[in-house]
């Protein structure tokens, strides 16, 4: 049977996973009466909840006696490490673009990587049924994007299909015909994408995706670039330098058949397979026959730009909601994550109970924290900080991002003003149809931390912001942080409604009556710039004197609900987020008020780094 290996590339929410659903359905992968979940490739709970793809995943369909291996890739640049690894597994790419939005930053990011490795793209204009669709303009935008990314003449001569993945049709014209389903896309893939190139020699495979299975142990997925593989065959594992890091027998070879993996007796060159049986080999290592001494060179991965400190939860409520609280289990979990996710870096600190975790963006780190809390971990995390560098002359460099904001014209002034305060430079402003403008900025990553919520407030929830790492540039100076102080609890206990009611004029609260609080915990936002210590346990003093006036019922304003992402963006440098399976609390780094004051005085005197 012939083979084709393709990746589906698109910006988040342009319809990749829905397209894969239709390809699986129309290729006969499912029985007619089989019940299948929507977005079947989104297997992770967080992927289903948020409607985004976080992990790259492979599947396969059979069309006209040809097996097509399809890899669904994440659309967020934060998960770009996943994308960079899988591109060398495939020989072609379907670039999926929304007929109304056109190519967006994440499309640019992944397409740039695909063009670098020489993949020939197929452009699919999706969602042509949208009333504000503009397919002809979008095709021109895609061509301009490819040209800007230094595509070759062959890559610029890309075939185009129009359609609607949701309605389940593709055609060479935007008007149809719609009765052929996905057949035009399948036929185009077979014509346009070359069969996988097979090298001579014994078995070689580059590890691309890593996962663990309770029954099979460590499972590595990759494309066999040479030779063949059988169960119980002896192989060894080479790292990037060519050193042998592991050796053993392959216990099982699993091939992708539809949405399931099935054991096979033979893995052939060119096919994408998963193997088990080895205990140490990881992503970017070469799995090969013992005769092989030269490793396959993996694609270089872009460096992390944002770091956070993960630490053992040392608050008075530690250990009351989670069962995984020690530094050893937290470190083991982080190391396991870094092994499978090459975009993450974990490093130890001078204190044994904290670790510095570096990644591509706040979203990637927030997803890791959310997964850990669901697994029963308790930990404290700091505000995200950018990873700074120094050039050869000793000048400090910081990460700069390209920011694209689609906003109604009436709100554009507020957006430009706020971003200029955050040291952003406007690169482009153009109309994007429907009375909206598309603003393009180059902004320091530091200035964008915590800006999403402010943007939605300034634009009444109508703006859409997309970000993409642009490069390192000279440090742009101080950026103003949060302008308000916080309300800090002075006591340990349970919050009382009467006390919260009396404190409402001091600022909005973040807790409800009955919630457990402790000294040093942040219970609200102060209306002024300074921090204020308050007692939220103070009840009403009762006397035995009767009064003619009735006690009025306490009516509280609903508190601010802090999600994990919002909390990470909101806190200041001297504050932490306490994350447990049941709660997200905010607290000061130093819980004791006397220690806090000494630290502030030392910071002002310049005896400790800011």
Extents of the domains making up the chain? 2-192, 204-288, 390-474
User: Is 18 part of any known ligand binding site?
Assistant: yes
User: Is 126 part of any known ligand binding site?
Assistant: yes
Between strands 2-10 and 66-72, the pairing is parallel
For the chain, what percentages of helix, strand and coil (3-state, to nearest 5) are there?
A: 25, 30, 45
SS3 (DSSP) at 102: coil
Residue 551's contacts (CB-CB under 8 Å, 6 or more residues apart) are none
At 36 the pLDDT is 39
Q: Which residue intervals of 126-201 are DSSP H helices?
A: 135-148, 153-156, 183-192
**Ramachandran region, residue 224 (left: φ > 0; alpha: ψ -120 to 50; beta: rest):** beta
Compute the distance between CA of residue 284 and CA of residue 88 in angstroms, rounded to an integer.
11
CA dist 531 to 33, 216, 503, 597, Å?
62, 54, 14, 11
User: Is 129 part of any known ligand binding site?
Assistant: yes
The pTM (predicted TM-score) of the whole model is 0.74
At 381 the pLDDT is 92
At 607 the pLDDT is 56
Decide whether 2-192 matches 390-474 in CATH topology: no
At 490 the pLDDT is 92
SS3 (DSSP) at 368: helix
Angle separating helix axes 183-192 and 16-26, nearest 10 degrees: 100
At 550 the pLDDT is 53
∠ at Cα 481 (475, 484), nearest 5°?
A: 170
Stretches where the chain sits below pLDDT 50 are 30-44, 47-48, 50-51, 53-55, 608-610
User: Is 516 part of any known ligand binding site?
Assistant: no
Q: Which residue intervals of 118-270 are DSSP H helices?
A: 135-148, 153-156, 183-192
405-425 in b/e form (b: 16+ CB < 10 A) is bbbeeebbebbbeebeebbbe
**How far apart, in Å, do the first and last CA atoms of the chain sit?**
63
Between strands 2-10 and 92-98, the pairing is parallel
At 48 the pLDDT is 46
Which CATH class, in words, describes the domain spanning 204-288? mainly beta
* Domain 390-474 falls under CATH 3.40.50.720: no
136-161 in b/e form (b: 16+ CB < 10 A) is eebbebbbebbeeeebeeebeebebb
Residue 420 belongs to what H/E stretch?
helix 412-421
At 31 the pLDDT is 42
As a whole number of angstroms, the longest Cα–Cα distance in the chain is 98
Between strands 66-72 and 57-63, the pairing is antiparallel
User: Six-digit token pair at 9?
Assistant: 């590339």
Give the number of other CB atoms < 10 A from CB of residue 396: 11
User: Is 17 part of any known ligand binding site?
Assistant: yes
**Contact between residue 211 and residue 248 where contact means Cβ atoms under 8 Å apart:** no
* Domain 2-192 falls under CATH 3.40.50.300: yes
Half-sphere exposure of 230 (CA within 13 A, CB side): 1
User: Is 45 part of any known ligand binding site?
Assistant: no
């Amino acid at each position: 049977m012939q083979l084709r290996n393709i990746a589906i590339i698109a910006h988040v929410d342009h319809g990749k996973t829905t397209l894969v659903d239709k390809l699986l359905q129309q290729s006969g992968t499912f029985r007619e009466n089989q019940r299948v979940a929507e977005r079947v490739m989104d297997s992770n709970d967080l992927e289903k909840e948020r409607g985004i793809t976080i992990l790259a995943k492979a599947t396969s369909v059979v069309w006209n006696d040809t097996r097509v291996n399809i890899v669904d890739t994440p659309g967020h640049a934060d998960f770009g490490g996943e994308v960079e690894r899988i591109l060398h597994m495939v020989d072609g790419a379907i670039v999926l673009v929304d007929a109304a939005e056109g190519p967006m930053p994440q499309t640019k990011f992944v397409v740039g990587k695909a063009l670098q490795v020489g993949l020939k793209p197929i452009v699919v204009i999706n969602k042509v049924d949208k009333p504000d669709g503009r397919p002809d303009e979008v095709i021109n935008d895609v061509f301009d994007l490819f040209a800007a990314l230094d595509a070759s003449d062959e890559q610029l001569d890309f075939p185009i299909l129009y359609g609607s993945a949701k309605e389940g049709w593709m055609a060479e014209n935007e008007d149809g015909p719609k009765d052929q389903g996905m057949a035009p896309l399948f036929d185009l893939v077979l014509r346009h994408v070359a069969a996988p190139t097979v090298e001579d020699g014994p078995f070689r495979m580059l590890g691309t995706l890593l996962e663990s299975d309770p029954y099979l142990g460590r499972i590595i997925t990759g494309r066999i670039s040479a030779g063949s593989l059988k169960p119980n065959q002896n192989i060894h594992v080479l790292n990037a330098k060519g050193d042998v890091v592991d050796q053993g027998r392959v216990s099982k070879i699993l091939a992708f058949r539809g949405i399931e993996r099935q054991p096979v007796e033979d893995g052939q060159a060119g096919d994408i397979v998963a193997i088990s049986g080895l205990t140490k080999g990881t992503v970017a290592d070469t799995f090969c026959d013992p005769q092989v001494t030269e490793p396959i060179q993996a694609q270089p991965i872009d460096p992390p730009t944002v770091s956070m400190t993960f630490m053992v939860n040392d608050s008075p409520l530690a250990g009351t909601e989670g069962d995984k609280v020690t530094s050893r289990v937290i470190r083991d979990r982080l190391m396991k994550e870094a092994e499978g996710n090459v975009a993450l870096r974990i490093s130890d600190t001078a204190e044994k109970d904290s670790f510095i975790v570096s990644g591509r963006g706040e979203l990637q780190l927030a997803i890791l924290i959310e997964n850990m809390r669901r697994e029963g971990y308790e930990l404290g995390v700091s505000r995200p900080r950018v990873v700074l560098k120094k050039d050869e002359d000793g000048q400090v460099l910081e990460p700069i991002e390209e920011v694209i904001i689609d906003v109604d014209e009436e709100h554009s002034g507020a957006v430009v003003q706020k971003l200029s305060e955050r040291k952003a430079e406007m690169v482009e402003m153009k109309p994007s149809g429907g009375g909206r403008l598309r603003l393009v900025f180059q902004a320091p990553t530091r200035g964008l931390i915590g800006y999403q919520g402010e943007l939605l407030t300034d634009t009444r929830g109508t703006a859409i912001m997309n970000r993409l790492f642009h490069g390192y540039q000279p440090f742009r100076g101080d950026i103003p942080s949060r302008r308000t102080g916080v309300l800090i609890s002075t006591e340990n206990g349970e919050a009382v409604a009467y006390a919260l009611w009396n404190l409402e004029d001091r600022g909005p609260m973040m807790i409800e009556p009955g919630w457990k609080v402790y000294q040093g915990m942040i219970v609200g936002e102060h209306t002024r710039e300074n921090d204020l210590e308050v007692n939220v346990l103070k009840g009403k003093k009762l006397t035995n004197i009767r009064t003619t006036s009735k006690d009025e019922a306490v009516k509280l304003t609903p508190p601010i609900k802090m999600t994990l992402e919002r909390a990470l963006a909101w806190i200041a440098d001297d504050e932490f987020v306490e994350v447990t399976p049941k709660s997200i609390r905010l607290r000061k780094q130093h819980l004791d008020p006397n220690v806090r004051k000494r630290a502030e005085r030392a910071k002002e005197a310049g005896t400790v780094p800011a």
